[in-house]
Chain A
């Protein structure tokens, strides 16, 4: 009897164990729904339409040099101290005991500026009074003018002492002021004349001045920049490298293109009146996939050329322009572009006043003066594609645990309407965390050339295609190992008749409409 009860309880206990409950569910969802076209490139003037087909007209500025780069004005402090040479002197009220005119010189290296207009900057005028009565400082900078009036300031400073002088500072914004830097005699350069007069208060007491009493006058000029200057700006050497990286070319892994005749132009526009020469040192294109560099060749590369001065003056300035053209007759431009390197570098140098002061101090720049270099490409978009492969890689993660909901199987449906005269194949590479290939699949003839299609409602010839790709069971089984997916598109521009790659023109309004839909079967588990 005992045994019976023990066994019956044991059966009850063991009968409660259960296995996992499973079932399968089917899910459908869109993944990609997009239309790719070239309208944005038309809007930003990279492409234009000519006779119903696109042409490349690409212009970019690669350098812009402002006159401020040529003529940098350092912050300058000029200090004058005045003391009597005799041991002491009693002076009556209202007496002028300092009366000084002096030319101060800016250190501008080898530049010799005659006159300029100040675009921005401030001047701080500081005076120190060591004597025991109020003093009046009359300061004039006769060559600093605004509306033809020179800069004059009067400052009164309260009584001070020898070892504890009183001080006052005036700050003046100099924007818009003219400055004549030829000095008091009109023959100098970089000079700033000043006139200073100091007198005692006429209503104050007589005071005794000693040779220890130092009356100080300090001029500080800060953050000065000019928007007009005339003189000799000195020698200046400037070199730089312009780097252009193309994201889409970065995704090209192999293949080639055949271009129509194109023209690459360097335009140099100069609004600064200064003798100068420039050199395009090197133009090269680097393809990291092939590890190949193509240098652009042309007689002008490596050879310096003169930059002409602009003509005209205030409000009538006409910039000089020099164009250097690289085309199939003068260079290897086609080979250069067909290298499909994602990195293009242009190295150039600029020499200002390379021969010294040959202008006699007539270098000049105006508020709108600049020296700019830009590059432009003109080419009909008539290109042949020969197994050109573009690849992009995405990080991916999908956990698959047997005791949780997981993907059991699935498929992707690709629907494409193609308005470009290109055909393409899609390849998917599934990689592990180290980039090693797990599985690769080709989806052939995914993109059919529009040349084999028909005109749609807006007159664009298109070809539709639809392909269903079943996710292989072995791929689903290894889903948790997949950490990256590389998507590879291979493009060709095949002639429909003879199946040979040819150059094709891209029609206006060409587009590719892509839709990818997924079907997944999930295994659901309740444990």
Chain B
């Protein structure tokens, strides 16, 4: 058993698993419990898994790959990646400062989230250059990308009965970057002129540091049980995660704001030029690219979710769940989801979930969960097609383990 748990923990750390939306355990009857809770999610409106593999695992992106990738893209596209891990200890035997209905809870978490929205033209420029777009205007369309990796350590108060909780977390910001680019690029068909309009900025933390800032965040879960029919009730949950800010250590900022009409050099310019150089600093001056070091506050990627959740001690053969999830500060389309849970026997359950939105579009998922006296195990994926096919537009794997003692 020890080795089994050891393996599970290692899997959390390296393979990554994700939390299946909408499932929460309310009625662990034991006094204390530990939740292992993790997420791995890659999703996009336009980037297939085959391309992701090449980026993340390496290799050459061939011309065929590029044609295939671009054919799947629309004018505007989204992409996102989420890697989360969380460990929550609910100390239900304790009293929160003599409040007998409330107890202490403690949590530790790891979050890495990346999101972006971009135009097809900017991807085409990055993959192909400008040679296949002569005579056309390539529009950057206010493309943005952002990434944040941080760890949390929290303590909070939990309602012993409803399991609602409010926790205050210290946040360590490990890394962050944000980039935005708007503008156009036009290369004339006969390559006699180039018009570039670019406005944007890039902020990134300096690498090689474990901490690039500290902050605070609140996590809040409110569970409300609503009676429906005789002996039937439903539970609705409002969840707010990572509502907080970090103060970032000094970080590098690069800004560009330029309009250039370039037709080539005159002979006199070349004769006067001291050096024909691809020197980065010279071209940065020409393109009005400025670099600076700034210190700023940054909001964490707060998550909002409202859903009907499952009751783990329900006698019903079938249960439904549904809801909406949003990351308001990211390139994330509010995701609506709905699913059905089926009780196969006293301890084994399975479920089907459909969702639309988020970093991509439509998804269909499956899961299995096991309920024992002191242990609940959830294994599943929100995107079965993506898990199995390289033609899918993402992958997601979920695992959660709850142990009571």
Interface residues on A, range: 35 or more
Q: Contact partner of A397 among B57, B61, B130, B275, CB < 8 A?
A: B275
The reply to whether A34 and B127 contact each other, CB–CB distance below 8 Å, is: no
The docked-state distance in angstroms from the alpha carbon of A394 to that of B271 is: 8
Q: Is B277 engaged at the interface, CB distance under 8 Å to the other chain?
A: yes
In the bound complex, do residue B263 and residue A33 qualify as a contact, i.e. CB atoms below 8 Å apart? yes
B295 at the interface (CB under 8 A from A): no
Residues of B contacting A516 in the complex (Cβ-Cβ under 8 angstroms)? 264
In-complex Cβ contact of A22 among B60, B131, B263 (8 A) = B60
A395-B275 in contact (CB<8A): yes
Do B130 and A27 touch across chains, with their CB atoms under 8 A apart? yes
Interface string of B1-34 (1 = CB under 8 A from A): 0010011001100110000000000000000000
Q: Are A23 and B60 in contact (CB under 8 A)?
A: yes
User: In the assembled complex, which residues on chain B have CB atoms less than 8 Å from the CB atom of A32?
Assistant: 264-267, 270
Complex Cα distance, B267 from A226, in Å, reads 49
List the A side residues contacting B66 at CB < 8 Å.
23
| Interface positions of A from 495 to 527, Cβ below 8 Å from B | 514-517, 519, 522, 526
For B14, the chain A residues whose CB sits under 8 A away are: 12-13, 16
Which one, B61, B262, B264, B273, contacts A21 given CB within 8 A? B61
Q: How far is the CA of A34 from the CA of B277 in the complex (A)?
A: 20
Shortest CB distance B296–A (Å): 27
| B19-76 residues at the A interface, CB under 8 angstroms | 54-62, 66
| Chain B nearest CB, measured from A155 CB (Å) | 62
Contact with A along B215-243 (1 / 0, CB 8 A): 00000000000000000000000000000
Given A21-B61, A29-B191, A9 and B128 contact (CB-CB distance below 8 Å): no
- Please tell me which one of the listed residues A23, A514, A519 contacts residue B131 in the complex, with CB atoms under 8 A apart: A519
Is A5 a contact of B275 with CB atoms below 8 Å? no
- Please determine whether A9 and B61 come into contact, CB atoms closer than 8 angstroms: no
Chain A minimum-CB-distance residue to B132:
A26
The answer for the CA separation of A210 and B96 in the assembled complex, in Å, is 114
Q: How far is the CA of A32 from the CA of B192 in the complex (A)?
A: 9
The reply to whether the CB of B289 lies closer than 8 angstroms to some CB of chain A is: no
- Min C-beta distance of B218 to chain A, whole Å: 33
Is B193 an interface residue, CB under 8 A from the partner? yes
Closest-CB distance, A524 to chain B (whole angstroms): 8
Given contacts A12-B11, A23-B61, A392-B271, contact A30 B54 (CB under 8 A): no
A519 to B191, CA, bound (A): 10
Residues on A with C-beta less than 8 A from B131 are 26-28, 519
Determine if A397 and B262 form an interchain contact, defined as CB atoms under 8 angstroms apart: no
| Complex: A16 Cα to B57 Cα, angstroms | 8
Q: Is B276 an interface residue (CB 8 A)?
A: yes
The complex places the Cα of A526 from the Cα of B276 at a distance, in Å, of 27
How far is A2 from B277 in the complex, measured between Cα atoms in Å? Answer: 60
Closest to A12 in B: B14
Contacts of A515 in B (CB 8 A): 192, 264
Binding site secondary structure of chain B: mixed
Q: Which residues of A contact B268 (CB under 8 A)?
A: 34
> A26 CA to B66 CA in the complex, in Å?
13
For A26, A33, A399, which residue has the most chain B Cβ atoms within 10 angstroms?
A: A33
> Which residues of chain A from 274 to 326 have any CB-CB distance to chain B below 8 Å in the complex?
none
B381 at the binding interface (Cβ < 8 Å) = no
When A26-B129, A26-B132, A30-B191 are in contact, do A21 and B11 touch as well, CB less than 8 Å? no
Residue B313 interfacial (CB < 8 Å)? no
B129 & A5 in contact (Cβ 8 Å cutoff): no
Instruction: Tell me the complex Cα distance, A106–B22, Å.
Output: 112
Please give me the residue from chain A that is nearest to B129 by CB atom.
Answer: A25
Q: A512: nearest residue on chain B (CB-CB)?
A: B267
Q: A19-B58, A22-B60 are in contact. Are A33 and B276 (CB under 8 A)?
A: no
B263 to chain A, nearest CB (A): 5
Is A27 in contact with B276, judged by CB distance below 8 angstroms? no
What total of A-B pairs shows CB separation below 8 Å?
Answer: 113
Residues of chain B contacted by A2 (CB below 8 angstroms): 3
Report Cα–Cα, A28/B266, bound state, in Å. Answer: 18
CA distance A29 to B193 in the complex (A): 7
Does residue B194 face the partner (Cβ distance < 8 Å to A)? yes
| A219: min CB distance to chain B, Å | 56
Q: Say yes or no: A485 contacts B276, CB within 8 Å.
A: yes
Is A396 an interface residue when CB atoms closer than 8 A count as contact? yes
Task: Assess whether A5 is in contact with B7, with CB atoms less than 8 Å apart.
Answer: yes
In the complex, the answer to whether B187 meets A22 with C-beta atoms within 8 Å is no
B267 touches A397 (CB 8 A): no
A187 adjacent to chain B (CB < 8 Å): no
CA distance A514 to B267 in the complex (A): 9
Q: CB-nearest residue of chain A relative to B62?
A: A23
Known: A32-B267, A397-B279. A26 touches B54 (CB 8 A): no
Q: Is the CB of A36 within 8 A of B61?
A: no
Contacts of B270 in A (CB 8 A): 32, 394
Decide yes or no: A30 and B127 within 8 Å by CB, A18-B56, A517-B191 being known contacts: no
CB distance from A5 to the nearest CB of B (A): 5
The reply to whether the CB of A69 lies closer than 8 angstroms to some CB of chain B is no
Q: Flag whether A1 is at the interface (Cβ < 8 A).
A: yes
Could you tell me the distance between the alpha carbons of A28 and B131 in the complex, rounded to whole angstroms?
A: 6
The interface residues of chain A lying within 8 Å CB-to-CB of B208 are none
Verify A5–B3 contact, CB threshold 8 A.
yes
Q: Are A34 and B267 in contact (CB under 8 A)?
A: yes
Annotate A16-53 by CB proximity to B: 1 below 8 A, 0 otherwise. 10111111011111111110100000000000000000
Report the separation of the CA atoms of residues A34 and B263 in the bound assembly, to the nearest whole angstrom.
9
Give Cα A516–Cα B58 distance, bound, in whole angstroms.
37
Whether a CB of chain A sits under 8 angstroms from the CB of B274 is yes
- Tell yes or no: B278 within 8 A of A by CB: yes
Contact surface of B with A, Cβ cutoff 8 Å: 3, 6-7, 10-11, 14-15, 54-62, 66, 126-132, 134, 187, 191-194, 262-268, 270-271, 273-279
Beyond A21-B59, A27-B130, A32-B267, 16 additional contacts (C-beta under 8 Å) are A13-B14, A21-B60, A22-B61, A23-B62, A23-B127, A25-B129, A27-B129, A30-B193, A30-B194, A30-B263, A32-B265, A32-B270, A395-B277, A397-B277, A398-B277, A516-B264
Q: List 20 A-B contacts (CB under 8 A).
A: A2-B3, A12-B10, A12-B15, A18-B57, A21-B59, A23-B60, A23-B61, A23-B66, A25-B129, A30-B193, A30-B194, A32-B264, A32-B270, A36-B267, A392-B271, A394-B273, A395-B274, A396-B276, A397-B278, A519-B131
Minimum-distance CB pairs A-B, first 5? A33-B264, A19-B58, A30-B264, A25-B129, A26-B131
